Amino acid sequence: MTNDSDSTDLRVGWIGTGRMGFAMARRLAKGGVDLAAWNRTRAKAEPLAEVGSTVVDSIAELRDRDVVFTMVSTPSDLEQVLLGEGGLLADRDHVPGVVVDCSTVSTESSERMREACTDRGVAFLAAPVSGNGKVVKAGGLSLVVSGPEETYHLVAPLLAHLGKSVTYVGQGDVARLVKICHNLFLGVVTQSLAEITVLAEKGGVSRAAFLDFLNNSVMGSVFSRYKTPAFVNLDYTPTFTPTLLRKDFDLGLAAARQLDVPMPVAAATAQLVQATVSSGRVDEDFAILLDQQAAASGLVLKPEDVVVDDGLSAADEVS
């Protein structure tokens, strides 16, 4: 590999084509990157062939790639695809040059995978992301990256293909903590948004009107606008599930204990996220925190059937 600004010179492998992984891999492929993809359920990866990607039957077929991205759900999944039988690093004499992991895992898990990569002469970058499939398609993904700076500069053109913002935060696995903090904030903000929206509606204000005001005030944000259609029309098509959010709260509160940082608001929100999971609605979007808040407030929600802008534009979509 050479440190070339043209990212299409790098042959890329991709492991994990769930909601996020598929959207990210597709964006790279549509940007002209030579990409080969593997997923445990092959059918989920096969549509990538329509945009010029190669879909492979085994992870071993990705070992000759310059850079391999991983996007999986849990630390055990990451360990399995890297170190398990038939994993990317299982053959010490046949490994890729760089592994870029975009999963949300603990710092400790990331450190173990970094050590395994380093032991085999493979550079490792932690590169967790902020966004979902729709955000990726609109070109709005944000990435936070840590690891060897030289490796970061090597793959930076690939990362730039994926979204609007890439922030390098230093050596090691500090990017993991940044992402965990981000997702704690995600849950806390969503719960707070649910509480004030229910308060306004129970006082006689429609959700559409209240959120229109909020989004155009100094308190509005890209996120509050993005979640407005779900809150107004009760569309809980999953972008991020309560189960995944619970996992991130577990990681965040564990980090807080380790670093002796009291987090009373996050701890309270974690209990509410757990209640959502316990309700059984685990296949819906975590915006169902709104329903849970309404039920606790004696309010029955109904879709308002209002056309609402989510603030995303597909103007940056790779065509």
Domain boundaries defined on the chain: 7-172, 177-316
**Tokens encoding 259:** 């670093």
pLDDT band for 2, please (50, 70, 90 cuts): very low
Model's pTM, two decimal places? 0.87
pLDDT tens track for 238-291: 999 999 999 999 999 999 999 999 999 999 999 999 999 999 999 999 999 999
Residues known to be catalytic: 179
pLDDT the model gives residue 315:
43
- The Cα 200–Cα 198 span in angstroms is 5
- The Cα 110–Cα 75 span in angstroms is 8
Q: Which amino acid is at 167?
A: T
19: which strand partners? Answer: none
The mean per-residue pLDDT over the stretch 154-180 comes to 95
- Percentage of the chain exceeding pLDDT 70: 95
- The Cα 59–Cα 78 span in angstroms is 12
pLDDT reading at 198 higher than 60: yes
- DSSP conformation letters of 26-46: HHHHHTT-EEEEE-SSHHHHG
pLDDT band for 3, please (50, 70, 90 cuts): very low
**Which class is 7-172 in CATH?**
alpha beta
**Distances in whole angstroms, Cα of residue 255 to Cα of each of 106, 176, 246, 259, 261:** 8, 10, 14, 6, 8
Phi, psi of 130 (to 5 degrees): -120, 120
Q: What's the mean pLDDT when you consider all of the chain?
A: 94
**Which residues of 71-194 form beta strands (DSSP E)?**
98-101, 123-126, 129-130, 142-146, 165-170
- The Cα 66–Cα 117 span in angstroms is 14
pLDDT tens track for 93-123: 999 999 999 998 888 999 999 999 999 999 9
The mean per-residue pLDDT over the stretch 197-216 comes to 98
Question: What homologous superfamily is domain 177-316 in, according to CATH?
Answer: N-(1-d-carboxylethyl)-l-norvaline Dehydrogenase; domain 2 (1.10.1040.10)
The mean per-residue pLDDT over the stretch 51-66 comes to 98
The candidate with the shortest Cα–Cα distance to 149, out of 168, 122, 164, 121, is 168
